Amino acid sequence: MTRIGVDIGGTFTDVVIVDDEGRLRGVKTPSTPEQPDDGVVDGLEQARDDGIDVADTEFLGHGTTVATNAVLEDDLPPTALVTTDGFRDVLEIGRQDRPDLYDLDFERPPPLVPRDHRLTVSERIGPDGNVVEPLRESEVAELADRLPDVDAVAVSTLFAFRNPVHERAIREGLREHGDDVAIALSSAVLPEFREYERTSTTALNAALKPRLDAYLGRLSDRTRATGIDEQWAVMQSHGGLMSVRTAREKPVNTVLSGPAAGVQGAQYLADEAGYEDIITMDMGGTSTDVSLVDGGEPSLSTDWEIAGHPLGVPTIDIHTIGAGGGSIAWIDAGGALRVGPRSAGADPGPAAYGRGGTQPTVTDAHVVLGRIHPEYPLGGDLSVDVDAAREAIERGIADELGQSVRDAAQGILEVARANMERALRVVSVEQGYDPRSFALVAFGGAGPLHAPRLGEELSIPTVLVPRLAGVLSGLGLLASDLEHAYVTSVVEPLTDVTADELRDWFAKLAAEGTETLAADGIDEASMRFERSLDLRYAGQSYSLNVPIEGDPSEETLAAATDRFHAEHEAHYGHANPDERVELVNVRLRAIGEIPSIDVRTSVEGTVRDAVLGERPVQFGDEKREVTVYEHGHLPSGGEFDGPAVVQAAESTTVVHPGQSVSVDDRGTLVITTGKT
Amino acid sequence: MTDDSHQEDDSYGRYERGDAYDGHETDDASDSHQTDRDHQSTDPAGDTTTGGNLATDGGEIDPVTLEVLRNAFATVAEEMSANLIRTSYSPNIKERKDASSAVFDARGRMLAQAENIPVHLGAMPHSVRTVVEAFEGAFEPGDTVIHNSPFSGGAHLPDITFVSPVFVDGKLVAYVANRAHHADVGGSLAGSVSADATSVFAEGIQIPPVKLFERGEIVDGVLDLLTENVRTPDEREGDLRAQQAANETGRQRFEALVEKHGRETVEAVADRVLDYSERRMREEVRDLADGVYEFADALDSDGAGAEDVTIRATVTIDGSSIAVDFAGSAQQVAGAVNAPIAVTTSATYYALRAVTDPDIPPNQGCYRPFSVSAPEGTVVNACKPAAVVGGNLETSQRIVDTVLGAMAEAGVRSIAAAANGSMNNVTFGSADSTLTDPYTFYETIGGGYGARPERDGVDGVHAHMTNTQNTPIEALELAYPLRVERYELRPDTGGAGEFRGGLGIRRDIRVLGHDASFSLLSDRRRNRPYGLDGGQPGATGEDRVVIDGEERHIDSKTTLELSDGDLVSVRTPGGGGFGPPEDRSLAAITRDLEDGRLTAEHVAEHYPHYDGE
CA distance A31 to chain B (A): 37
> Least CB-CB distance to A97: which of B416, B455, B462?
B462
| CA pair distance A47, A4, nearest whole angstrom | 10
pLDDT for B39 equals 32
Measured CA to CA, the distance from residue B94 to residue B106 in angstroms comes to: 30
Q: Which of A515, A553, A513, A555 is nearest to A530 (CA)?
A: A513
Question: Cβ–Cβ of A422/B82 closer than 8 Å?
Answer: no
A583 contacts: CB under 8 Å, gap ≥ 6: A490, A491, A492, A493, A494, A497, A533, A534, A535
pLDDT of residue A24: 83
A45–B contact, CB cutoff 8 A: no
Hey, is the C-beta of B52 within 8 angstroms of any chain A C-beta?
A: yes
Low-confidence ranges of chain B (pLDDT < 70): 1-61, 612-613
Number of H helices, E strands in chain A: 17, 35
Mutate to test the interface with B, among A83, A93, A104 (most CBs of B within 10 A): A104
Helix (H, G, I), strand (E, B) or coil at B548: coil
Tell me what pLDDT residue A599 has. Answer: 81
The backbone torsions φ and ψ at residue A443, rounded to the nearest 5 degrees and listed phi first, read -150, -170
Residue B238 near residue B89 (C-beta atoms within 8 A): yes
B545 part of contact set with chain A, CB < 8 Å:
no
Q: How far apart are CA B459 and CA B501, in angstroms?
A: 8
Low-confidence spans in chain A with pLDDT less than 70: 178-179, 374-382, 573, 676
**Greatest Cα-to-Cα distance within chain B, rounded to the nearest angstrom:** 78
pLDDT of residue B55: 35
What single letter denotes the amino acid at residue B345? T
Range of the domain at B196: 63-271
CA-to-CA separations, A565 to A536, A544, A578, in angstroms, rounded: 9, 10, 10
Q: Do A101 and B118 touch (CB under 8 A)?
A: yes
- Strand A527-537 to A439-443 pairing: unpaired
Does residue A433 belong to the interface with chain B, where contact is any CB pair within 8 Å?
A: no
The dihedrals phi and psi of A590, each to the nearest 5 degrees, come to -100, 115
Residue of B nearest to A543 (CA): B86
Please check whether residue B108 lies inside any domain of the structure: yes
User: B354 and A422 in contact by Cβ < 8 A?
Assistant: no
Q: Is residue B358 reached through a cis peptide bond, with omega within 30 degrees of 0 on the bond before it? A: no
Query: How close is the nearest chain A Cα to the Cα of B16, in Å?
Result: 30
Q: d(Cα A110, Cα B337) in Å, to the nearest integer? A: 36
- B231 contacts chain A (CB < 8 A): no
Q: What angle do CA B42, B73, B363 make, to 5 degrees?
A: 55
Per-residue pLDDT, B613 = 54
Backbone angles phi, psi at B21, to 5 degrees: -120, 130
pLDDT of residue A83: 98
pLDDT score at A63: 94
Amino acid identity for residue A301 in this structure = S
Strands B504-511 and B550-554: unpaired
**A114 in B contact zone (CB under 8 Å):** yes
Judge: B474–A542 Cβ closer than 8 Å, yes or no. Answer: no
Partner residue facing A89 (CB), from B75, B241, B488:
B488
Instruction: Report the CATH fold assignment for A482-592.
Output: Dna Ligase; domain 1 (3.30.1490)
The Cα–Cα gap between A511 and B563 comes to 45
Chain B residues closer than 8 Å to A89 by CB:
460, 487-489
Residue A418 to residue B474, Cβ atoms within 8 A = no
Distances A265 to A15, A240, A260, A305, B563 between C-alpha atoms, Å? 14, 12, 9, 23, 59
- B77 CA: distance to closest CA in chain A (Å): 11
Residues B414, A92: C-beta atoms closer than 8 Å = no
Contacts of B94 in chain A (CB under 8 A): 540-542
| Secondary structure (3-state) at B233 | helix
To which H or E segment does residue A372 belong? none
Domain finish residue from B246, B271, B296: B271
Within the 316-375 window of chain B, which residues sit less than 8 Å (CB to CB) from chain A? 350, 353-355, 357-358, 360
Q: Is the residue at B82 inside a domain?
A: yes
Q: What is the pTM of this model?
A: 0.90
- Max CA pair span of chain A: 83
For an interface test with A, the pick among B235, B441, B449, B474 (most A C-beta atoms closer than 10 Å) comes out as B474
Would B212 be classed as within a structural domain?
yes
pLDDT for residue B12: 32
**Count of the separate structural domains present in chain B:** 2
CA distance A608 to A626: 13
Sign of CA pseudo-dihedral A123, A127, A132, A137:
positive
Would you say how long chain B is, in residues? 613
Residue A111: C-alpha distances to residues A69, A108, A263 (Å): 17, 8, 31
Contact B358 A103 (CB under 8 A): yes
Q: What is the pLDDT of residue B387?
A: 96
Nearest CA in chain A to B81: A430
Q: What is the pLDDT of residue B436?
A: 75
Nearest chain B Cα to A335, which residue?
A: B51
Contact between A98 and B454 using a beta-carbon 8 Å cutoff: no
pLDDT, tens digit, 9 for 90 and up, residues B315-367: 999 999 999 999 999 999 999 999 999 999 999 999 999 999 988 988 999 99
**Pick from A410, A370, A456, A454: which is nearest to A658 by CA?**
A456
Residue type, A456: E
Cβ contacts (< 8 Å) between B67 and chain A: which residues?
336-338, 415, 418
Report how far apart, in Å, the C-alpha atoms of B539 and of each of A208, A492, B604 are.
38, 42, 16
Backbone angles phi and psi of B291, in degrees to 5: 155, 175
At how many degrees (to 10) do helices B63-87 and B233-261 cross? 160
Nearest CA in chain A to B361: A334
Structural domain ending residue among the three candidates B216, B250, B271: B271
Look up residue A640 and give its DSSP letter.
E
In a domain, B51, yes or no: no
The nearest CA of chain B is from the CA of A405 a distance in Å of: 14
Model pLDDT, residue B35 = 33
Task: Please tell me the distance in Å from B355's CA to the nearest CA on chain A.
Answer: 8
B472 vs A196, A418, A572: nearest CB = A196
Q: Give the distance from residue A411's alpha carbon to the nearest chain B alpha carbon, in angstroms.
A: 5
Please check whether residue B350 lies inside any domain of the structure.
no
Q: A539 contacts in B (CB within 8 Å)?
A: 89-91, 235, 238
Choose from B96, B478, B570, B571 for mutation: most chain A CBs within 10 A. B478
Domain ends where: B271, B302, B320?
Answer: B271
Query: B533: buried, middle or exposed (CB in 10 Å: 19+, 13-18, 0-12)?
Result: middle
Residues 6 or more apart in contact with residue B588 via CB below 8 angstroms: B456, B500
Question: Which pLDDT tens digit goes with each residue over A475-501?
Answer: 999 999 999 999 999 989 999 999 999
